[in-house]
Structure 1
Amino acid sequence: MKPHHSHSHESAPSCHAPAPPPSSQQAASAPGPHDPVYMGLPDERYLRPKFWVALLLTLPVVFISMGSMLAPDWFSQFHARVLGWTELVLTTPVFFWCGAPFLRRWWKSVRTLDTNMFTLVVTGTGAAYAYSVFAVFFGERFPTALRGAHGVPLYFEATAFITTIVLLGQIIEQRAHSRTDAAIRALMDLAPKIAHRVDAHGHETDVPLDEVVVGDRLRVRPGEHVPVDGIVDEGGSDLDESMLTGEPETVSKKTGDKVSAGTLNTTGSFILSAEKIGKDTLLAQIVKLVEDAQESEAPIARLADRVSAWFVPIVVGVAVLTFLLWYFAGPAPAFLHAMLNAVAVLIISCPCALGIATPVSLVTGIGRGAQSGVLIKDAAALEQLVSTNTLLIDKTGTLTEGKPQVVGIHPARDLALSSFSSPDDALLALAAAAETSSEHPLARAIVHAAQARNLPIPASSHFNATAGQGISAEVDGRSIFVGRAPADSAASHATATLVLVKIDGKDAGTLELADQIKASTPAAIRQLQSLGLRVVMVSGDREAAAQAISKQLGLDGYHAGVTPEGKQQLVREHQRNGESVIFAGDGINDAPALAAAEVGIAMGTGTDVAMHSAGIVLVKGDLAALARAVRLSRATLRNIKQNLFFAFVYNGLGIPLAAGVFYPLFGWLLNPMFAGVAMSLSSISVVLNALRLRRVKI
């Protein structure tokens, strides 16, 4: 249950303080347990102990209340007033202490005339509590018509049970909506805590990242993350910039090239000159994008509150009208009849099932999703998925495997080496031999391809890497060069990267490497489109490659050459065009877009940051699970609407009886057993209906 105002939304303060710059290495401060998180209610850590106390006190109240009806002979040995006082003592802390957040929220809704679910729940539980207290003190003055078979009816169990169950629902929702700083922490951990400062004499000193200033010269060793944004002064290396680009290929850096904080140095060592530090680095900007997107997330109006918006005024109006009619036209004692029947209207109109109508469906739906490889991290995402119409989907690691593979071998016509059975094997084996000492992803792909063919890979020597060009080595007395092919080279695969191989200075052929599309992707795309989603690919690739993949998969569109900041801007652009957006990705660079979209979906095979920023995680990274998530969301929302019907229908039918509409004709007044049965039936109906989700086909 996640209540929203139907007329306006009160923005909840952010749960975490603004993140300090990564150079400080301080994680974003965690929220306090009393800080408002969602709909003006505090964090679930504050609600949780209240729930356990409420549960502990509510169980005996329900036992006393139900037991006196189900086992009257055994309970007859206890005096009715003793049982009443026991219920009063147990229920009072549940209503006032455990339900304090709801009381505050109710009072605010009354002051602002902005009714919501809390207005209805607290009004009903408050009426039940006030009536029951009055009955404990003055029950002997109640007219005979208002007495039950077991004495004066009390509604303490309704007050305690509703408060407890609504607490449970709010814990579920607050946990889902807490603005944890996990994504921010994961991002900031990419920047090292220590930097290696090099002075004018070449002496190296380790200093905290906080002490680095613009102009400092810093050494970055192999396997370390770049500490700040800067320019390479000396040396060179290949950097893994996948956290920025989302692409698996490393980027060669040489003197004069720019490097970004958080990127990973793979093999070489270099010295950079610091240009941007702290909050000015690109990494810090990504952190800020994630924060801004989380804080600006627009809430959706909950169906329960939309119903409450008109249901609450109607019920209150009926209760007032009931009081007036019974006071001026009812039998003696007029005031007592008027008060009791007005309170009865408020009691019967407060459906106990309303407290569980939404969360019980959400919990069941979340469990059903987990069985199908769909991890629902944010209950709201499951609901919001229903109204989305556009899927922006990252290419690398989402549509594709995220691992380049050799997809084509094209030896020169005159290539013939007696030690290999075919020119293809010769070209691949020699290239693999030369690349054995390289850690570049394309080099690893070439070596793996040779190993997959069980080719003998000769030993190499005199390995040398030229930044941005390629590598060279000696293999069996031959000079082998493997590097970037000319830009005008033709490739048989439109999406492939072309690698040129030279033997002793002569072109020996080319290798094509491509990131393979996941086997499940084409069918998953068709399923998503059949569900009414417009599927648009987002990639940092060149236009030709993106266009080829889009055509191959039959997508509804694509965006090529997109930067990390551009991904979030694309989400905003589609939203400005009136589209409700799902964004699916797996990289750190996807985190801002995941947080900005109505629903962010991360691949379980991706980065922790992406998974923290998303509301839904596809555990196995299988896009087909996204189609299952869409079907699950639709089934869950249908179930919630059905539950809300059950939550209101019994009570709606009971209101005329509670108001005494049938008293002039039949002498009927609200029987306490009827109220208990109505509340029980509505709750049982809700639970049984929600359990159907466990068997729904998705």
Structure 2
Amino acid sequence: MKENIETLTLPVLGMTCASCASSVESMVGAQEGVDHAEVNYATQSVKVTFDKDKIQVLDMQKALQSVGYDLILEQEGAKEKQEAVQQNNYQQLKKRMIASSILALPVVIIGMFFMHMPNGNYYMMALTAPILFIFGKSFFVNAWKQAQHGRANMDTLVALSTGIAFLFSVFNTFYPEFWYSRGLEPHVYFEAAAVVIVFIMLGKLLEEKAKSNTSSAIKKLMGLQPKTVLLVTEQGEKEIPIAEVSIGDQLMVRSGEKIPVDGVVYQGNSYVDESMITGEPVAVAKAEGDQVFAGTINQKGTFRFKAEKVGGATMLAQIIKLVQDAQGSKAPVQKLVDKIAGIFVPLVMLIAVLTLGAWLLLGGEHAFTHGLLAMVTVLVIACPCALGLATPTAIMVGIGKGAETGVLIKNAEALELGYKVNAVILDKTGTITEGKPAVTTLEWATDLPKSKEALAKVLMALEYASEHPLAEAIVRHLKEEGAGTVALSQFESLTGKGVEGVVDGVKYWAGSHKVLKDQNIPVSASLASKVLSLQEKAQTVIYLADATQVLAIVAIADQVKSGSAKAVAALKAQGIAVYMLTGDNQHTAASVALQAGIDHYKADVLPSDKADFVKELQKQGKVVAMVGDGINDSQALAQADVSIAMGKGSDIAIDVASITLVSSDLQQVPRALKLSKQTVRTIRQNLFWAFIYNLIGIPIAAGLLYPFNGFLLNPMIAGAAMALSSVSVVGNSLRLKLSNLS
């Protein structure tokens, strides 16, 4: 690449719809020196490749500012600044909408029920003016900026219809005799103008709310890395900022601390929680020569390791980058309203002008009066109130319906895409399974030297003293069974094998098969048979033994949730392909897949492999939903078309996901997809009626029936019809509340 060619990704301010993204892209792309511009509406940014000798980013910023948008040029802290601006915009918009609503209420009451009260028109005018020209000023400013560049969008139609309705009403308020002298009633349309502004603001408020929380997941991922580290020097340990760590530095990690960078252990041993990478709940034993990764958590014990990857090269940094890339690569949802608005807005303006022209040419005696009246009626009746409400009302009700059933939907995109999903990927641990090891079987030998109660106390004492992660599951189970404990006169941890302890002069062992092998302790035929059966089900077996025999076996597994198999069956019944991905081994994966009824699964999968698998399915033309609960799922969740997190999962998975299942019950997944289908159907019905209404209303407003029966639609009736269309859209959306998701 030439030295003067540069590629930058810059945050964009002021985009409120998919057509805005298109406008920004074409405006930046049209500048001389810009080779390529690509806007991503989901991340509110533009990726631009340009020749530095021909154009500077400042020139691009000025070009966008001229049409009502802006760029953040600072590379340092740009995202934080964008978030602050978005949050401020949301708060300001909320205040303006509340103020407009307060003023609009009396206008509607007077206009609908007390239209003949003394000075009523003056009261309505005084209340409507600030709604339009103070709180709704942005519609007029944006429309003007678009017009200067020969463009039109929904703001143009809102500004034109409400502005003309207001000015027309002002004229009728001050000069009613103009119409009286021509035998016509001077009606006003202040309430129509006020209500339109309030409803359109509500739609924009919902969009702004969704945009204000875009990068909290990235922030939380970054928070997994500690700010300082303990550097091992000849003089001892020294605390330094993580930014100063170099490859080859010797670092120390104490119990409970996060590992700062990727490296290899050279002294000490411990157990490390690597669930952010593998998704598996059991901590991994680490000893000399083992690899450790940034962001993972040291459980028990202190160790030293040598830094191998630092900064952007660590696995955590790669996960953060992949999540950012996946979020950024999502194509913006081209909402039907925004697509059609590009044609609808100029078409309505053209019809309004043609209406006036036709009346002036063919109207006869009252040509100008009737033509002006008809033009205003066209703009009032075509006002995009029903159109603007069609999507947000259905989405609001759909999101509310989901919340009632424990399905929390974060944004409209998830609802719009959910009905298209034909492939669902499930994480294993915490999604299909419970997510934590639990005792499934405690089997005692037939010939015991002591009572089961006495030996249960021995097992409790040994496991309570053990540092192994599985020991907690055994202790929890024994406590639930009401077992007590005894004092150990001697205790030793056998790394990688188990534990050894002495009670009342008798030596006992608890651990894996390696302990039995080292001590030459036999296993009875009946227990050996049981062990084989449990291992075939991918369960981990712990042995309790004395010097002569195995006294008991304890089977531990991450159990499949009771509703998982039903959920998989329900998804298959909807014609959706189901896949399982896990960082666990092949044997365990096969066992869980069999229990859940899943035909396609992959084991030993890393976080990046999950995201790659999502991309692979997307390349095949599938619309993919990813269901997960851990940090290791965050890349795949960000890459998927629809991302679903378990409510009991990690904060990062929940932040990245567009849908959260409060109960962590997998059976909510088919319900969420069904809700999407019903919501999209409602949106389409709303849009159909909004456009049918305009298709019928606009020609009548233009005066199509006048030559046949002398009927000319009164703008006030047009305003009422517009309000009625809005009511019908809201009413249709509310029907979603009655829908059945089971």
State TM-score, norm by structure 1: 0.87
- 1:673 to partner: Cα distance: 3.4
The 3 A distance-change label for structure 1 pair 187 and 153 is same
Contact 2:380–2:719 (CA under 8 A) maintained in structure 1: no
Aligned to 2:684: 641
- 1:247 to partner: Cα distance: 0.4
Residue 98 in structure 1 maps to residue 131 in structure 2: no
- How far apart, CA to CA, are the structure 1 residues paired with 2:625 and 2:145? 34
Aligned to 1:372: 405
The 3 A distance-change label for structure 1 pair 689 and 17 is closer
Correspondence for 1:576 among 619, 622, 629? 619
Report the residue type matching 1:601 in the other structure: I
Report the residue type matching 2:228 in the other structure: I
Residue 50 in structure 1 maps to residue 96 in structure 2: yes
Aligned to 2:109: 63
Per-residue CA distance 1:526-580 (angstroms, 9 max, x = gap): 2222223221111111122212222222224112211111111111111111111
Correspondence for 1:304 among 337, 352, 356? 337
Per-residue CA distance 1:26-57 (angstroms, 9 max, x = gap): 9962535545x9xxxx9423422222232233
Residue 446 in structure 1 maps to residue 477 in structure 2: no
- How far apart, CA to CA, are the structure 2 residues paired with 1:312 and 1:319? 11
- How far apart, CA to CA, are the structure 1 residues paired with 2:674 and 2:120? 55
Aligned to 1:157: 191
Residue 600 in structure 1 maps to residue 643 in structure 2: yes
Aligned to 2:451: 420
Aligned to 2:28: none
- 1:400 to partner: Cα distance: 0.5
Between 335-344 and 325-334, report the one with greater CA deviation.
335-344
Residue 471 in structure 1 maps to residue 502 in structure 2: no
Aligned to 1:229: 262
Any stretches of 5+ residues in structure 2 without a counterpart?
A: 1-14, 24-38, 48-75, 518-527
The 3 A distance-change label for structure 1 pair 627 and 115 is farther
> 2:693 aligns to what SS in structure 1?
helix
The 3 A distance-change label for structure 1 pair 368 and 434 is same
Correspondence for 2:573 among 530, 536, 550? 530
Between 534-543 and 26-35, report the one with greater CA deviation.
26-35
The 3 A distance-change label for structure 1 pair 357 and 603 is same
Q: Matched residues, percent identical?
A: 41
* RCO higher in structure (CA 8 A, sep ≥6): 1
Per-residue CA distance 1:353-375 (angstroms, 9 max, x = gap): 22322222222222221111111
- 1:79 to partner: Cα distance: 7.0
Correspondence for 2:673 among 610, 616, 630? 630
Report the residue type matching 1:54 in the other structure: S
Correspondence for 2:360 among 299, 322, 327? 327
- How far apart, CA to CA, are the structure 1 residues paired with 2:42 and 2:572? 37
Residue 539 in structure 1 maps to residue 576 in structure 2: no
The 3 A distance-change label for structure 1 pair 419 and 456 is farther
Residue 174 in structure 1 maps to residue 225 in structure 2: no
Per-residue CA distance 1:470-506 (angstroms, 9 max, x = gap): 3333344444444444799945343223445554397
The 3 A distance-change label for structure 1 pair 6 and 196 is closer
Aligned to 2:652: 609
Report the residue type matching 2:82 in the other structure: P
Report the residue type matching 1:176 in the other structure: A
Aligned length: 669
Per-residue CA distance 1:113-169 (angstroms, 9 max, x = gap): 776544544443344344345545655434767843xxx222232222112111111
- How far apart, CA to CA, are the structure 2 residues paired with 1:387 and 1:647? 24
- How far apart, CA to CA, are the structure 2 residues paired with 1:457 and 1:653? 82
- How far apart, CA to CA, are the structure 2 residues paired with 1:631 and 1:601? 14
Aligned to 2:325: 292
> 1:353 aligns to what SS in structure 2?
helix
Report the residue type matching 1:271 in the other structure: R
Residue 29 in structure 1 maps to residue 80 in structure 2: yes
Between 110-119 and 391-400, report the one with greater CA deviation.
110-119
- 1:466 to partner: Cα distance: 4.3
- How far apart, CA to CA, are the structure 1 residues paired with 2:546 and 2:449? 15
Q: How does 1:64-463 map to 2 (within 5 A)?
A: 64-69=110-115, 72=116, 75=117, 77-78=118-119, 80=121, 82-83=122-123, 87=125, 89-103=126-140, 106=143, 117-136=154-173, 139-142=176-179, 147-148=184-185, 152-201=186-235, 203-408=236-441, 416-421=447-452, 431-455=459-483, 457-463=485-491
- 1:628 to partner: Cα distance: 2.0
- How far apart, CA to CA, are the structure 2 residues paired with 1:195 and 1:366? 44
Per-residue CA distance 1:640-687 (angstroms, 9 max, x = gap): 222223433434322122111111122211213311321222122222
- 1:97 to partner: Cα distance: 4.0
Per-residue CA distance 1:269-327 (angstroms, 9 max, x = gap): 11222233333322222222222222222222223234434443543343233222111
- How far apart, CA to CA, are the structure 2 residues paired with 1:106 and 1:528? 46
Contact 1:464–1:471 (CA under 8 A) maintained in structure 2: yes
- How far apart, CA to CA, are the structure 1 residues paired with 2:594 and 2:458? 35
> 1:252 aligns to what SS in structure 2?
strand
Between 173-182 and 654-663, report the one with greater CA deviation.
173-182
Report the residue type matching 1:51 in the other structure: M
Report the residue type matching 1:391 in the other structure: V
Report the residue type matching 2:104 in the other structure: T
- How far apart, CA to CA, are the structure 2 residues paired with 1:387 and 1:121? 32
- How far apart, CA to CA, are the structure 2 residues paired with 1:392 and 1:108? 46
Contact 1:6–1:302 (CA under 8 A) maintained in structure 2: no
The 3 A distance-change label for structure 1 pair 34 and 129 is farther
- How far apart, CA to CA, are the structure 1 residues paired with 2:337 and 2:77? 41
The 3 A distance-change label for structure 1 pair 146 and 392 is farther
- How far apart, CA to CA, are the structure 2 residues paired with 1:543 and 1:49? 56
> 1:230 aligns to what SS in structure 2?
strand
- How far apart, CA to CA, are the structure 2 residues paired with 1:248 and 1:659? 69
> 1:460 aligns to what SS in structure 2?
coil
Contact 1:583–1:599 (CA under 8 A) maintained in structure 2: yes
- 1:101 to partner: Cα distance: 4.1
Between 132-141 and 370-379, report the one with greater CA deviation.
132-141
Any stretches of 5+ residues in structure 1 without a counterpart?
A: 19-24
Aligned to 2:592: 549
Per-residue CA distance 1:313-362 (angstroms, 9 max, x = gap): 54334323322211111124534433332232122111422232222222
Residue 11 in structure 1 maps to residue 54 in structure 2: no
Contact 1:43–1:175 (CA under 8 A) maintained in structure 2: no
- How far apart, CA to CA, are the structure 1 residues paired with 2:710 and 2:314? 78
- How far apart, CA to CA, are the structure 1 residues paired with 2:483 and 2:557? 21
Contact 1:7–1:114 (CA under 8 A) maintained in structure 2: no
> 1:169 aligns to what SS in structure 2?
helix
The 3 A distance-change label for structure 1 pair 263 and 328 is same
Aligned to 1:664: 707
> 1:233 aligns to what SS in structure 2?
strand
Contact 1:349–1:652 (CA under 8 A) maintained in structure 2: no
- How far apart, CA to CA, are the structure 1 residues paired with 2:599 and 2:485? 44
Per-residue CA distance 1:167-216 (angstroms, 9 max, x = gap): 11111122123343321232222222332233213x23333334433333
Contact 1:15–1:179 (CA under 8 A) maintained in structure 2: no
- 1:509 to partner: Cα distance: 6.8
- How far apart, CA to CA, are the structure 2 residues paired with 1:576 and 1:329? 58
The 3 A distance-change label for structure 1 pair 139 and 440 is farther
- How far apart, CA to CA, are the structure 2 residues paired with 1:469 and 1:112? 75
Contact 2:441–2:554 (CA under 8 A) maintained in structure 1: yes
> 1:265 aligns to what SS in structure 2?
strand
Aligned to 2:31: none
The 3 A distance-change label for structure 1 pair 213 and 505 is farther
